[in-house]
């Protein structure tokens, strides 16, 4: 701070408090909505204070689901989301770190071509190649499977570039010393590179986990079997029920549960999260 100006300080606090309130407002309403009965919403205006049905609603969603909209219990969907997010984040990290290792520490023909092939993935978000990718996945028999949910999203240029960047900052002397000790490439990779990239891996994991958990369009398209529904895509199916009004109390309980894991990750791993975000730049 340059100088002390009480009015500016007050204004800054006011702006931030207002910001925090506005940012939290939608979630507060969702939380309140999830503590009422379905009838509380038919009177016209949503309640602003908590109701008494919280335990009941959450137990229903976790345990039995909403049969009237073909939605299975949320517990299973959250497990699917977790599996998908873990496969995507760990998969991305593994294939990216080995790719970066190959590109930085080896000279081989078509090295540049390989680099560019990976770079291209940056330019083809799943949304623009959605129809043909769906067909490829269908042809491979991967609809309604964990592999189909995650593998097509695993290639990652940003993660590869991040690790390449990290490796380039590792002094050459490390490699020379390792060679003198007679270490082969894989030993060097395992004993030196991975430990040195540990915080980068962790930071990247936080970002990628959120990315994986929040996938929406892709799981929506390729899962038609409720055993593989993920929670974010599943909520959409709950909100649009044919010939009936959405049961807001249940939908909002599902919304709260669906956003809890990634939000907790951000809050409790804020330092890693910020590092991951600012380093990968998307």
Partner 1 sequence: MIRIAAVSAIALAASLNAASAQTEVQWWHAMGGELGMKLDEMVAAYNASQSDYKVVASFKGTYAETMTAAIAAFRANEQPAIVQVFEVGTGTMMAAKGAIYPVYELMADMGEAFDPAAFLPSVVGYYTDTAGNLLSMPFNSSTPILYYNKDVFEKAGLDRETPPATWADVEAFSAKIMESGAAPCGFTTGWISWIQTENFSAWHNQPIGTLENGFGGLETELTVNGPVQQKHWENLKKWQDSGVFQYGGPVGGNDAPPKFYAQECAMIMNSSAGRAGVIANATNFEVGYGMLPYYDDVEGAPQNSIIGGATLWVLQGKDEAQYKGVADFFSFLASAEVQAGWHQDTGYLPITQAAYDLSTEQGYYTANPGADVSIKQMTLNAPTENSKGLRFGSYVQIRDIIDEEFQALLSGGKDAKTALDALVSRGNVLIREFEAANK
Partner 2 sequence: MKRTIFGNQLLPWLLLAPQLLITAVFFLWPAGQAIWQSFLREDAFGLKTSFVGLLNYRALFNDGDYVNALGVTLVFSVAVAALSMGLALLFALAVDRMLKTANMYTTLLVWPYAVAPAIAGILWWFIFNPTIGILPYLLDFVGYDWNHSLQSGDAMVLVVIAASWKQVSYNFLFFVAGLQSIPQSLREAAAIDGAGPVKRFFTITFPLLTPTTFFLLVVNVVYTMFDTFGVIDATTQGGPAQSTNILVYKVFKDGFLGLNLGSSAAQSVILMGIVIVLTIIQFRYIERRVQY
Q: How far is the CB of 239 from partner 2 (least distance, A)?
A: 6
Q: How far is the CB of 209 from partner 2 (least distance, A)?
A: 9
- d(CA 249, CA 251) in angstroms, rounded, equals 6
Does 270 help bind partner 2 (rule: CB under 8 A)?
A: yes
Does 279 help bind partner 2 (rule: CB under 8 A)?
A: yes
Which C-beta is closer to partner 2: that of 64 or that of 116?
Answer: 116
Exposed (0-12), middle (13-18) or buried (19+): which is 100, by Cβ within 10 Å?
buried
Does 12 help bind partner 2 (rule: CB under 8 A)?
A: yes
Q: How far is the CB of 20 from partner 1 (least distance, A)?
A: 32
**Pairs from 212-217 (Cβ < 8 Å, separation ≥ 24):** 212/84, 212/85, 212/86, 212/87, 212/88, 212/89, 212/150, 212/153, 213/81, 213/82, 213/84, 213/85, 213/261, 213/262, 214/262, 215/84, 215/88, 215/149, 215/153, 217/126, 217/127, 217/130
Helix H, strand E, coil C: the string for 218-280 is: HHHHHCCCHHHCCHHHHHHHHHCCCCCCCCHHHHHHHHHHHHHHHHHHHHHCHHHHHHHHHHH
Residues 6+ apart with CB under 8 A from 161: 100
Which C-beta is closer to partner 1: that of 191 or that of 225?
Answer: 225
Q: Which of residues 143-182 bind partner 2 (CB under 8 A)?
A: 151-152, 154-156, 160-162, 164-165, 168, 172, 175-176, 179
Contact status, residue 122 vs residue 282, Cβ threshold 8 Å: no
Contact partner, 52, from partner 1, partner 2, none, Cβ < 5-8 Å per class: none
Q: How far is the CB of 243 from partner 2 (least distance, A)?
A: 17
Among 39, 67, 112, 278, binds partner 2 (CB under 8 A): 278
Which C-beta is closer to partner 1: that of 14 or that of 217?
Answer: 217
Does 118 help bind partner 2 (rule: CB under 8 A)?
A: yes
Does 94 help bind partner 2 (rule: CB under 8 A)?
A: yes
Q: How far is the CB of 3 from partner 1 (least distance, A)?
A: 53
Contact partner, 138, from partner 2, partner 1, none, Cβ < 5-8 Å per class: partner 1
Contact stretch for partner 2 (CB under 8 A) within 43-51, 55-63, 65-73, 191-199: 43-51
Exposed (0-12), middle (13-18) or buried (19+): which is 31, by Cβ within 10 Å?
middle
Does 45 help bind partner 2 (rule: CB under 8 A)?
A: yes
Does 79 help bind partner 2 (rule: CB under 8 A)?
A: no
Q: How far is the CB of 133 from partner 2 (least distance, A)?
A: 4
Contact partner, 171, from partner 1, partner 2, none, Cβ < 5-8 Å per class: none
- d(CA 21, CA 26) in angstroms, rounded, equals 9
């Amino acid at each position: 701070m340059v100088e002390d100006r009480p009015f500016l300080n007050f204004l800054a606090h006011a702006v931030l408090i207002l910001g925090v309130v506005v940012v939290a407002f939608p979630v507060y309403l969702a939380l309140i909505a999830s503590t009422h009965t379905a009838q509380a919403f038919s009177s016209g205006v949503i309640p602003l204070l908590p109701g008494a049905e919280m335990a009941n609603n959450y137990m229903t969603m976790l345990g039995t689901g909403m049969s009237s909209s073909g939605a299975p219990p949320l517990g299973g969907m959250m497990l699917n989301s977790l599996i998908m997010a873990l496969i995507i984040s760990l998969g991305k990290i593994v294939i990216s770190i080995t790719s970066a290792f190959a590109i930085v520490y080896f000279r081989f023909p078509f090295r540049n071509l390989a680099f560019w092939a990976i770079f291209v993935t940056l330019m083809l978000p799943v949304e623009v190649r959605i129809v043909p990718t769906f067909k490829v996945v269908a042809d491979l028999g991967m609809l309604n499977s964990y592999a189909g949910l995650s593998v097509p999203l695993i290639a990652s240029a940003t993660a590869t570039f991040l690790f390449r960047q990290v490796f380039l900052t590792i002094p050459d002397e490390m490699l020379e010393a390792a060679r003198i000790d007679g270490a082969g490439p894989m030993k060097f990779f395992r004993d030196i590179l991975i430990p040195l990239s540990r915080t980068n891996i962790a930071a990247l994991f936080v970002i990628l986990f959120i990315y994986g958990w929040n996938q929406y369009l892709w799981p929506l398209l390729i899962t038609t079997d409720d055993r593989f529904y993920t929670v974010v895509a599943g909520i959409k199916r709950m909100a649009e029920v044919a010939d009936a009004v959405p049961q807001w109390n249940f939908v909002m309980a599902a919304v709260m549960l669906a956003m809890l894991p990634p939000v907790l990750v951000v809050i409790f791993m804020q330092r890693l999260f910020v590092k991951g975000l600012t380093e990968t730049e998307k």
